[in-house]
């Protein structure tokens, strides 16, 4: 079995582009996987297929024993993108509560959960602030908090720290590792162009090549924590 399993997964877009060819990958619960590779190697396509936004043209995909669409419906999957899509006219708290509000969770629980995750990213004192009053690193922390608020089994991160300066990026990398270690069951899939970042963060690096998108190698990284 496996937590997320791809077997002979292929994706050809309607215009004939072969984005993925014969991808085989089994992801285990609690792994921190980094995908590295040139642009066009199919990293985003894998993410779109895992989340049910795009369907494979061949092969099979199993996401915790169900279909991607079902897993997403149950809020078991969250995303973080580089361009944190925060609502500019909503406070930090409202932004973070939004995924729960959309699911019809009661207001009291929304507040408790928002406080929980904002505490995790060190922004509990900024709940009433608007995103534009925050630095880039702080906005990214809000995006991470919003992704964590639904207690996802799977966290997908697409180049989240790509736009941050080096010092902020290193701080965020360490914070993310701390968060991941607090919840041994959360599985993280992280796309990056930065090989150093991938080796620092992950328990396994998946190296991809383009035309067509394929897995060239996977590299196990010994976890430096007890
Ligand atoms: P990456 O995220 O690694 O840059 P993508 O998954 O975005 O790669 O793209 C893989 C390949 O598929 C690229 O050649 C890209 O141009 C192509 N592609 C991506 N999305 C589409 C689409 N909707 N229609 C046609 N081709 C696409
Ligand atoms: P599908 O529903 O087949 O999985 P998507 O929803 O990913 O496809 O994309 C829908 C359409 O968006 C594609 O058919 C294509 O016309 C366009 N598109 C998106 N990204 C790209 C890209 N990188 N290259 C070419 N076309 C793209």
Give residue-wise pLDDT tens across range 138-197: 999 999 999 999 999 999 999 999 999 999 999 999 999 999 999 888 999 999 999 999
Chain Cα centroid distance, residue 93: 21
What distance, in Å, lies between the first and last C-alpha atoms of the chain? 26
Q: What is the ipTM of this complex?
A: 0.74
Give the atom of ligand 1 at the shortest distance from the alpha carbon of 47: 6
Where the chain has pLDDT below 70, the residues are 1-2, 224-226
The ligand whose atoms approach the alpha carbon of 207 most closely is: 1
Q: Which ligand has the nearest atom to the CA of 47?
A: 1
Whole-model pTM: value is 0.89
Q: Are 223 and 210 in contact (CB under 8 A)?
A: no
Q: Beta strand pairing status for 4-12 and 18-27?
A: antiparallel
Is residue 130 within 8 Å of 88, Cβ to Cβ?
Answer: yes
Angle between helices 166-182 and 136-148 (to 10 degrees): 20
Q: How far does residue 49's CA lie from ligand 2's centre (Å)?
A: 12
Task: Tell me how far the alpha carbon of residue 13 lies from the centroid of ligand 2, in angstroms.
Answer: 7
């Amino acid at each position: 079995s496996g937590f997320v399993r791809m077997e002979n997964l292929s994706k050809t877009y309607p215009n004939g582009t072969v984005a993925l060819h014969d991808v085989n990958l089994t992801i285990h619960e609690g792994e921190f996987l980094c995908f590295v590779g040139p642009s066009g190697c199919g990293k985003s396509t894998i993410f779109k297929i895992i989340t049910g936004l795009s369907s494979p043209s061949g092969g099979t995909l199993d996401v915790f024993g169900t279909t991607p669409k079902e897993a997403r419906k149950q809020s078991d999957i969250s995303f973080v993108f580089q361009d944190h899509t925060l609502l500019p006219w909503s406070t930090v708290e409202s932004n973070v509560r939004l995924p729960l509000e959309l699911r019809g969770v009661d207001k009291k629980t929304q507040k408790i959960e928002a406080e929980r995750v904002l505490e995790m990213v060190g922004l509990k004192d900024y709940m009433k602030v608007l995103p534009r009053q925050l630095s880039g690193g702080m906005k990214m922390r809000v995006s991470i908090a919003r992704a964590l608020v639904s207690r996802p089994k799977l966290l997908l991160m697409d180049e989240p720290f790509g736009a941050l300066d080096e010092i902020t990026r290193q701080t965020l990398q360490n914070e993310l590792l701390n968060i991941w270690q607090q919840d041994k069951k959360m599985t993280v899939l992280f796309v990056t162009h930065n090989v150093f970042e991938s080796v620092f963060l992950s328990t396994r690096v998946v190296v991809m090549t383009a035309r067509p998108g394929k897995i060239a190698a996977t590299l196990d990284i010994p976890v430096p924590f007890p």
